[in-house]
Each structure stands twice: as C-alpha cells, then as structure tokens.
Amino acid sequence: MTSADYRPGVQFKAAQGVVWIVLGLILFVGMTGRAEARLDDPALCTPAERMQRLDRCATPAPVPVLVTPAPSRPPGAAATNPSEGTDPADLVPFTYARVITSNVPVYASPEDAALGLPPVRTLGAGYLWVSLGKRPTYVESNGETWIMINKGEYVRASAISIYRPSRFQGVELREQPAMPFAWILKPVQPSKTPGGPPDPDAPKLNRYDVVNIYDTRLVGDLRWDQIGPDQWIDHRLVGQVSVSPRPEGVGPTEKWIEVNLYEQTLAAYEGDRMVYATLVSSGLRQWATPEGLTRIWIKLRHAKMSGGEGRPDYYFLEDVPWIMYFNKAVGLHGAYWHDGFGYVHSHGCVNLAPRDAEWLFNWTTPLVPEGTNSVLSTEDNPGTWVWVHQ
C-alpha cells in the first residue's frame, strides 16, 4: 500500500515516483525445446473473454501456444490511471478516490462550510482512499463542487481524485498446462539468441502479454527464456507460473492456492490440477508476506483496512473488496489503488487485481451466504488452503 515496488534484484525508477526493483535470478530448466514452439495458435482467454469468444480461446495445454491478450500500457503509465474509458463500477463494488491533499475538512453539508461552521471531522495526512458508493454524488454550492464521501459527509471535489482500477485479469485453465508460462512485466523486444541484443524484426511484447516458456539458458548469471522460435527474453522481465506438486497435508481433491513470492504469481488448484493463475503484489521487503501453509479463516466482501497510524507509512483504505484472510491479518484481497501486479507493493497482504480477487473469492471456501458481508470458516466448512513460498 505504498508507492515502492520491487522484485528481488536490480532496482530502478519508474514513472510517478514508483520504485521498481526487478526480479532476481534463478535457474530453471524448461520442459520443452525450440522445435516445439508454435506461433499460429489462438489466444489464451480470461474468463470474461471466454464467455464472449469461446471458439477462439485455448489453454497452454496440451499444445504449446504463444498467447497475446489485449495490449496494456507499460507500468509507469498504467500506475497513474490504468483504465481510462472503463467505468470503475464495472470492476469493483464502489467508486474509489484517493485523498490528494492533507488535512481535508469534512462537512455535514456544503452549506455548513459556507456558513463557517466547523467540520465534522478531518481527513489527516497519509495514504488515504475513500469509497463513494456505486456512483459518486456531486453537489454544486456557492460556486464550488462538492462530493459526498458518506451519508452526511462532504468534501470539496478538488481534495480527492477518482481512480479507475486495473483491468488486468489472469487466466482460467481448462487443462493442465503442458509447460511454464508467464506474463510480461515490462515492454520488451525479444532477442534472437540468449543474452543477445534486441531483434528489431521481432514483435514487441507489452506489459501483461502472456507467453509460454519453451526453454531456458544461462548467460553468465542471467537466465534467459525462450518464448518462440529465435525469441529470447531476460527472465527478470516476466512473472512465471509452473505446475507445482500438492503440498503435504492437502488432500487429493481439495482446493488450494499457491503464492510464489519470488515470481509474484498465484496459481489455484483443485487437487493436482491448476485451474487459474495470475500475477500478484505481495509485501514489500520491510513488510514481507509470511511463508507457510495455512487456511482461509474468514472472508469479507468488503471492509476497511488501515495501519501505521502516527507513522509516515500510515494508510487508510475504505471498502477493500473481496478479502480472504489466511494468516492472522494477512490476506488475499482486491487492490483498487494500483496496477503494479508482478511487483511487491503491500504492507504484507497479497494484492490482486479486482477481477482476479472476485474470481478467487467466489471459488474459495467457505462461501459467503447471499445477503451477508462475511463468513468464518469452521471445522465442518473449512477454508481453502493457501501455500506461500519463495
């Protein structure tokens, strides 16, 4: 919930003052070689796309495919306002806005401000976000525009900025992936050879494009991944998903979630089969997400989150959607305030793009009854397993 993001390894600056620390280095041997790469297969679709064009959708298995979803902006641009033209209400339960000035007075009505009456409270300094209902309510008064943040609470519209949440979504898998696949984290031009210069004739890959990884080579200490014939990219520019064995203690038919802190990816399984995968943003170095195997113990459709009161890292987030707490106060949840998925970003929780959070919320147990906001797991209705590891 801060503006600093990193993957273990090299540090560099991105737009809007966001610090990105690029993914570190590991050795991984790909499952297939160059001869199996194919470039003429259909797209790997998100669940929403699958509903609209099932005939064009494929999965990474059993045939290798190169997939290219709708292009996205690079991280710096996306972090400012990633979904221009998209109604925020189509992505999340509320419209959200960031408080962009400090010590904002909140009045019972705009008329109270005009009369010189005292505010009912003040929004102090920090990383503060408010929810504005499904649609914001504006009021014109004495030549000023006001916006209602709660019933009987108004602030000047100039004090907040409405934000459009990320449109990114992972992929739903109908079959077990035959090989590792990955999301592009930063625009890149593939090279013809591992460690070579960018190939000007190769297609440019954009952030959030999806690729299969057919082979892996080390050049010095750097890992390079083959994503197509004569197409190699630096592994630091991707977030990879590979099929993992079921953790000890998880039953052969149970649901479980894997969070890979190194890759900043998540995979959902039913028994041994992967059914969903996406990028995440886990805790920053000073608030690292704890590792281990635990169960979801409570789910909430939306709730307030805050922390660091009285410190420079104070944050206050209203109506965070689709929360699944699995390790005390650490949970999976939707993040409407950034589009930095694939890089660490949080105070310890696992941030998800809103569409991913909603999918997982509806898939995991315990199910939240209609008409209620939350549910606790029980011995008879246990929560889904969550395995967090490097």
We report the CATH number of the domain holding residue 274 as 2.40.440.10
For the segment 289-301, the average pLDDT, to the nearest whole number, is 98
pLDDT for 86 equals 54
Exposure string for 265-274, b = 16+ CB within 10 A, e = fewer:
bbbbbeeeeb
Return the higher-pLDDT residue of 32 and 67: 67
Does residue 280 belong to any structural domain of this protein?
yes
pLDDT at 309: 86
Residue with more model confidence, 5 or 341: 341
Residue 296 covered by a domain? yes
- The pair phi, psi for residue 277, each rounded to 5°, is -155, 150
One domain for residues 159 and 278: no
Q: What is the pLDDT of residue 78?
A: 28
User: What domain range is 104 assigned to?
Assistant: 92-163
Above pLDDT 90, what percent of the chain?
75
Residue 371 within any structural domain of the chain: yes
Residues paired with residue 122 on neighbouring β-strands, in sequence order: 105
Which residue, 145, 163, 181, sits at the end of a domain?
163
Does one domain contain both 265 and 384?
yes
Residue 191 belongs to a domain: no
- Write down the pTM of the prediction: 0.80
pLDDT of residue 281 exceeding 60, the answer is yes
Residue type at position 142: N
Tell whether 381 and 275 lie within a shared domain: yes
Q: Are 94 and 162 in contact (CB under 8 A)?
A: no
- Of 26-30, 88-92, 136-140, 385-389, least confident by mean pLDDT is 26-30
Q: From 140, 163, 186, give the residue that closes a domain.
A: 163
Query: In this structure, are 263 and 152 located in the same domain?
Result: no
Q: Return the closest-CA partner of residue 386 out of 313, 292, 312.
A: 292
Q: Give how many domains the chain has, as a whole number.
A: 2
Q: Are 151 and 271 members of one domain?
A: no
Does one domain contain both 155 and 278? no
User: Is 138 part of a structural domain of the chain?
Assistant: yes
Confidence of residue 11 (pLDDT cuts 50, 70, 90): very low
Is residue 73 scored above 80 in pLDDT? no
The 10s digit of each residue's pLDDT in 13-58 is: 233 332 222 222 222 223 222 222 222 333 344 444 433 433 444 4
Residue 332 resides in a domain: yes
Query: Of 163, 185, 209, which one is at a domain's C-terminal end?
Result: 163
Residue 212 lies in a domain: no
The answer to whether residue 143 is domain-embedded is: yes
With 70 as the cut, is the pLDDT of residue 331 above it?
yes
